[in-house]
């Protein structure tokens, strides 16, 4: 059994074990939702090398799209979710088209500027977003056909099962994308942009494609979060949301989609537990995150791999990653329509 199949089985095991290990269906659902957002961020950071603070834009777009379509237009849930995905993709296309024209610090500043601008728009467009109050009473209507209910979403665990199915489908899709030649080429761009450009790849197109996929998945996560909470709050559009998603990605480990699930679970479950110990639990959480950042540069996933490697009798060091540029197919300028 190859590695992608193993990771898909591990994702399925996580989905099946959480109801057995957790009492709160809402918290379990939140873990899966932010796992989606962290995986989407990992596609940019871990596979493309793009440090984006604009994920909150796509998350907020998904939340507001679901809120408007379910509260004011009473559209079916599948239609509303597809619309949230499309809105996230469109928002990512706009942000990405501008931001990828710069690199490094200027790229980060552009994504942060878009995040701040979107927050201001959401705050002032009260007729659409509800402003500071957000969109209240977002329903969770049952999924049905011709008046027959196929899937009720009323209880937390019923909604969890629905989110779990979407999570597994999305994980499979992202896993296929990362294992494809497209994903290998993104690794080439991440490791050495100049060399990848010299081979003949269209760097802007590749980065924009990664942005659109990431925005679509993040929009789905934002829409599911609004349905879970029953509200599309203004906080979903804050740059703080981008920071949280980025933290989850780094804590879990970049360059591995399943590690994003680990990072989201660690952040949310630790925060939930610390909040019962001390009213100023965010200070404790900050200290834990400092320790994780200083002691585990490869994240929790890398820590687990190191422990397993040490426990393995006669184990040798993991082989270094192959050169993704060398593995990627050679594309000449003639193949791209240019001249040699």
Q: Domain segments of the chain: what residues?
A: 3-316
DSSP H/E element including 135? strand 135-136
Whether domain 3-316 has CATH 1.20.120: the reply is no
Asked if pLDDT for residue 60 goes beyond 90, the answer is yes
- Which residues on neighbouring strands pair with residue 232, listed in sequence order? 135
pLDDT at 294 over 90: no
CA separation for the pair 190, 46 (Å, rounded): 8
- DSSP-assigned beta bridge partners for residue 148: 145
pLDDT of residue 200: 87
pTM attached to this predicted model: 0.88
Entry field: residues in the chain: 340
**pLDDT recorded at residue 325:** 44
In this prediction, residues 236-260 reach a mean pLDDT of 91
The model's confidence at residue 337, banded by pLDDT at 50, 70 and 90, is: very low
Strand, helix or coil for residue 52: coil
For residue 318, pLDDT over 90 is answered with no
Chain centroid offset of residue 45 CA: 10
How far is residue 41's CA from residue 50's CA, in Å, rounded to a whole number? 9
Residue 148, classed as helix, strand or coil, is strand
* pLDDT confidence of residue 149: 85
Q: Which secondary-structure segment (H or E) carries 151?
A: strand 148-151
Task: Look at 311 and 43; give whichever has higher pLDDT.
Answer: 43
What is the pLDDT confidence band of residue 317, given thresholds at 50, 70 and 90? Answer: low
How does the average pLDDT of the chain come out, rounded?
87
């Amino acid at each position: 059994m190859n590695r992608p199949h193993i990771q898909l089985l591990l994702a399925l095991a996580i989905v099946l074990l959480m109801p057995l290990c957790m009492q709160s269906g809402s918290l379990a659902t939140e873990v899966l939702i932010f796992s989606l957002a962290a995986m989407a961020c990992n596609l940019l950071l871990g596979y493309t090398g793009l440090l984006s603070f604009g994920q909150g834009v796509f998350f907020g777009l998904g939340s507001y799209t679901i809120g408007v379509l379910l509260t004011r237009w009473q559209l079916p849930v599948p239609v509303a979710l597809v619309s949230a995905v499309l809105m996230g993709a469109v928002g990512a296309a706009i942000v990405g088209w501008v931001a990828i024209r710069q690199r490094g610090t200027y790229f980060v500043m552009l994504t942060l500027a878009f995040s701040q601008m979107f927050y201001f728009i959401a705050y002032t467009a009260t007729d659409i977003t509800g402003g500071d109050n957000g969109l209240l009473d977002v329903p969770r209507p049952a999924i049905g056909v011709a008046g027959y209910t196929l899937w009720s979403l009323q209880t937390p665990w019923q909604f969890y099962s629905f989110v779990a199915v979407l999570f597994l489908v999305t994980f499979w899709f992202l896993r296929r994308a990362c294992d494809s030649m497209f994903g290998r080429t993104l690794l080439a761009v991440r490791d050495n942009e100049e060399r990848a450009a010299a081979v003949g790849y269209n760097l802007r197109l590749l980065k924009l494609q990664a942005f659109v996929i990431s925005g679509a998945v993040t929009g789905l996560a934002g829409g599911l979060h609004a349905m879970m909470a029953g509200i599309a709050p203004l906080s979903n559009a804050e740059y703080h949301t981008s920071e949280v998603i980025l933290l989850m990605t780094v804590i879990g480990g970049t360059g591995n989609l399943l590690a994003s699930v680990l990072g989201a679970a660690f952040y949310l479950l630790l925060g939930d537990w610390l909040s019962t110990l001390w009213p100023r639990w965010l200070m404790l959480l900050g200290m834990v995150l400092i320790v994780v950042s200083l002691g585990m540069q490869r994240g929790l996933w890398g820590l687990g791999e190191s422990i397993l490697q040490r426990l393995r009798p006669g184990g040798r060091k993991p082989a270094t990653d192959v050169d993704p540029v060398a593995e990627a197919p050679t594309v000449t300028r003639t193949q791209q329509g240019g001249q040699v």
